Amino acid sequence: MKIVKVLSLGLCLFTLNLTAQIKEKKLDRLIENTLESFDVPGISVGIIKDDKVVYAKGHGVRSLTNKKDMNQNTLVGVASNSKGFTCFALGILVDEGKLNWDDKVRKHIPEFKMPDAWVTEEFTVRDLVTHRSGLSLGAGDLMFFPEGGDFTIDDVLANVSQLEPESSFRSEFKYNNNMFIIAGEVIHRVSGKTWDEFIETRILEPVGMKNSKASYSRVTDKSNIIDAHTRTEGEVIQIPHDWSDLANPAGGIMSNVTDMLIWAKFLMNDAVTQNGERILSEKQMHQLWQLQTPLPVSKDNDYNTHFYGYSLGWFVSDVKGYKQVSHTGGLLGTVTQFTLIPELDLGIVVLTNQMIGGAFSSITNTIKDSYLGYKDRDWVEKNSKRNNEWITYNDSIKKAVYQKVESYKNKPTVLKAQQTTGTYEDAWFGKVTITENGNALKITSERNPQLTGELLPYSETTYVAKWKNRSFDADVFVLFTLDEKGKAQSARMKYIAPITDFSFDFGDLHFTRVKE
């Protein structure tokens, strides 16, 4: 719908369109500038306004290896933008009378169990998808991240009860992927279809998202798909795709700008397809975008925002008097952003193949500003400066840590190998082994062989785990607790630098030596 202002002068009526589309050439320059400023190989951008696609282009390359152009049909993992699809699927099942948002989870998954018995009994389907479980940010994500582990949905259901709560139930927003994995299992048990099957047959296909798939593993034609990239030790490199099928309900969907604009149009048309088919009732569509878990809003913010929080698979807020519905997504090597301002019939899609959120937000905000009447605020300059400062800060922390490692390695207080080698176990993550490897120590996860690295002395009782896969950018301190004989009996882990992705959930691990 167009937002118009009507001025009456005698018998004459003048209609003034309050929004103005950013010019195509200016937008092209913006995206090219973003590629360069943030060192992103490829970005695709789409805009839909008043039911019409006004921009859909790719810029840069989809891969540093093949150098093929990024375009509007290049497939990208939309990551956590998948959460909106999971909640839409639940809404369909509510419409069909097969579940209610406030059903207890145990009604559909009897073995579901949280750390607290009362919480276990009270936990609802709504709680699964509103990030208010009481568990910490990213709690349990190491069960699916990075790809390569052997955890199953049964493990997730069994292990969430072993995770230590950080806050009381329903009291705080703490982003959690595993609850969405469990929501996907609710869909499976209620509908009889796997999450992947349900998403494709009940949503993607009828909506008209012809090139999209519920997961990377279901994409058969990979001729136009990105490679993932990340900054590793000072340079941007290509890395392998990384996402476990276990976590598809939290972030598995593969799509492109063309299809995501169809999704945007469909949602802003109140869940009615281009063929006139209603897939979700007006009542449930309205429900999806209602605030469930509030988040704080700073007094001084960029869009005169008064409220902000999470609904059912979406972040909702107000921007300059209009309701905004949005989400971002991130995998190893790619980040994405999807934004709707329904009252302006405006949708913005930004898909990238590098892990820099400042890139997508610079593009989205510039486009959004042009429709909201803000003058050019140069988001690229502002965000690239902030990003460079952030990288420099984190690099300085890592440099200082490894300088200390280098200076400490020959000190007499370094623990002997026999004091630390052995097997340690965490209640939900399982076992890690520390072995002597020549003159060095090696740490290896039993359930995810990707988590293998060197163990380097840092202080009398603290080591640094330097992961073999350097693209993780997730090295950690390993803090040992010794017994009276000087032998390590337990260990905790702690991030070296705050840039570490929260899904590397090392801080929630409590390792205890397995008795020999």
Where are the chain's structural domains? Answer: 20-390, 411-513
304's torsion region: left (phi>0), alpha (psi -120 to 50) or beta?
left
- pTM for the whole structure: 0.94
Dist CA 401 CA 412 (whole Å): 19
Overall fold of domain 411-513: Lipocalin (2.40.128)
Residue 12 main-chain phi, psi, to 5 deg: -100, 140
Give CA–CA dist 207/497, Å, rounded: 42
Rounded distance between C-alpha atoms, residue 75 and residue 235, angstroms: 24
Q: Radius of gyration over alpha carbons of the chain, in Å?
A: 24
- CATH classification of 20-390 is 1.10.3720.10, yes or no? no
In this structure, which amino acid lies at residue 8? S
CB burial class (10 A; 0-12, 13-18, 19+) of residue 276? exposed
Query: Which tokens go with 4?
Result: 């118009």
User: Can you read off the two tokens belonging to residue 236?
Assistant: 């941007």
Q: Indicate the helix (H) or strand (E) that contains 24.
A: helix 24-38
Per-residue pLDDT 10s for the chain (516 aa) are: 333 332 222 323 223 334 457 889 999 999 999 999 999 999 999 999 999 999 999 999 999 999 999 999 999 999 999 999 999 999 999 999 999 999 999 999 999 999 999 999 999 999 999 999 999 999 999 999 999 999 999 999 999 999 999 999 999 999 999 999 999 999 999 999 999 999 999 999 999 999 999 999 999 999 999 999 999 888 999 999 999 999 999 999 999 999 999 999 999 999 999 999 999 999 999 999 999 999 999 999 999 999 999 999 999 999 999 999 999 999 999 999 999 999 999 999 999 999 999 999 999 999 999 999 999 899 999 999 999 999 999 999 999 999 999 999 889 999 999 999 999 999 999 999 999 988 899 999 999 999 999 999 999 999 999 999 999 999 999 999 999 999 999 999 999 999 999 999 999 999 999 986
User: 292, exposed or middle or buried, with CB in 10 Å at 0-12, 13-18, 19+?
Assistant: buried
Sign of CA dihedral 470, 174, 130, 354: negative
Strand, coil or helix: what is 254? strand
- CA 331 – CA 225 distance, rounded (Å): 15
The closest alpha carbon to 352, from 47, 65, 80, 59, belongs to 59
